[in-house]
A and B are shown apart, each in its own frame.
Chain A
Amino acid sequence: MILWTIVPVEEVWGLPPTDLQVAELSVGHRCLVLEREPDGAQRVLRLVSTDPQDYLDPRFTPGSPWPQA
């Protein structure tokens, strides 16, 4: 693997780990990256989709709780 980037390598690899608990979930054609908080609540961390309309959907907005109430 060769990284070709303007970011120094030590910065790419040397970042401290996070205690973030994440998982990916497929919802139709979308990929949702969810984060789990210490109390077990799940939130949308990131939406990966090429459909721009998905980003207007409040259910998939980063920060919104998952599953929806």
Chain B
Amino acid sequence: MGEGPQQAGSVVAFGQPAPVPRAESEIHCLTVIGQIEGHVVLPARNKTTKYEHVIPQLIALEQSTRVKGLLIILNTVGGDIEAGLALAEMIRSLSKPTVSLVLGGGHSIGLPIAVAADYSFVAETATITVHPIRLTGLVIGVPQTYEYLDKMQDRVIRFIVTNSRISEAALREMMFRTGELVRDVGTVLIGRDAVQAGLIDQVGGVVDALAKLRDLIQWHQRLGYKPTKAARQEVMTPPAWPAAPTAPMTPPLPPPAALPPLPVAPTPGWGPV
């Protein structure tokens, strides 16, 4: 362990911490924050989650042999409906176990993303606002607009109902409830309310979410496939596991490759946000 004094020395000499020893993480974490940005770049000062960042990452996770599961952390105010649904569909169709945790807020289009995971958690104090889609985009003012909005609304409702325990009638009632929000129709659900409504599976925090994800990863590794959400909801108790294989389930991972030389300057040039 000759590195210890050397690392300590570098701190003293240069005032900089030594690089953190790098460990490969089997669980990756996707954070969905601020506005979910769609086909138009939102003005600066909006904190955004961009799909061009997230979608390739999800594809990479799906293909990676090291990554076993994905934790999705949500603290979002909503955003573009198409980008949000795209994200939700991608999370739902990952072959690897996923667990979502709503911290702070998972409003509007954040809700389909939360329910898209195999198991969802909400923090005790987190809020989820369920409200109808409003006419905010560039939509041509003809009667068909109403039908269009209705269709958009329906596909979100369908997604949430398919991926959670809530009924369509109950969700619609919550969505169009009056008297709860000051400037809007809809419902605010705080922590436990979201679980009681059947939208989210459990109230919990990081420890619970990670424990559940590890559990799902074991299911996945032993069964060889990921049981569908519907199948798991039908079978409340997990099926008896086959006997654990004698050989280790996963071969030891090769050491991570060294970081290639880092690029210095961005190629596309600089510009305002």
- A interface residues, Cβ below 8 angstroms from B: 1-9, 12-29, 31, 34, 36, 42, 48-53, 56-59, 66-68
Q: How far is the CB of B199 from chain A (nearest CB, A)?
A: 16
Question: Could you name 15 residue pairs across A and B whose Cβ atoms are closer than 8 Å?
Answer: A1-B39, A1-B82, A2-B152, A3-B79, A3-B137, A14-B43, A15-B43, A17-B44, A20-B44, A23-B269, A25-B265, A29-B57, A52-B28, A59-B262, A67-B262
Contact B44 A15 (CB under 8 A): yes
Contact B137 A67 (CB under 8 A): no
Contact A23 B35 (CB under 8 A): no
A63 to B35, alpha carbons, bound, how many Å?
22
A12 to B43, alpha carbons, bound, how many Å?
7
Contacts of B27 in A (CB 8 A): 52
Q: By DSSP majority rule, is chain B's interface helix, strand, loop, or mixed?
A: loop
Q: How far is the CB of A63 from chain B (nearest CB, A)?
A: 13
A15 to B22, alpha carbons, bound, how many Å?
40
A31 to B40, alpha carbons, bound, how many Å?
20
Q: By DSSP majority rule, is chain A's interface helix, strand, loop, or mixed?
A: mixed
Indicate if B252 sits at the interface (CB-CB under 8 A).
no
Contact B108 A1 (CB under 8 A): no
**With A50-B70, A52-B28, A68-B262 as contacts: A1 and B19 at CB distance below 8 Å:** no
A5 to B42, alpha carbons, bound, how many Å?
13
Q: Number of residue pairs across A and B with beta carbons under 8 Å?
A: 141
Most chain B beta-carbon contacts within 10 A, residue among A3, A14, A31, A52: A3
Contacts of A58 in B (CB 8 A): 16-17, 19-20
Contact A2 B137 (CB under 8 A): yes
Q: Please tell me the number of chain B residues within 8 Å of chain A, measured between CB atoms.
A: 63
- A16 in complex: contacting residue of B19, B45, B84, CB < 8 Å: B45
Contact B25 A51 (CB under 8 A): yes
Indicate if B193 sits at the interface (CB-CB under 8 A).
no
Indicate if B198 sits at the interface (CB-CB under 8 A).
no
**With A15-B44, A68-B262 as contacts: A50 and B136 at CB distance below 8 Å:** no
- B136 in complex: contacting residue of A3, A22, A48, CB < 8 Å: A3
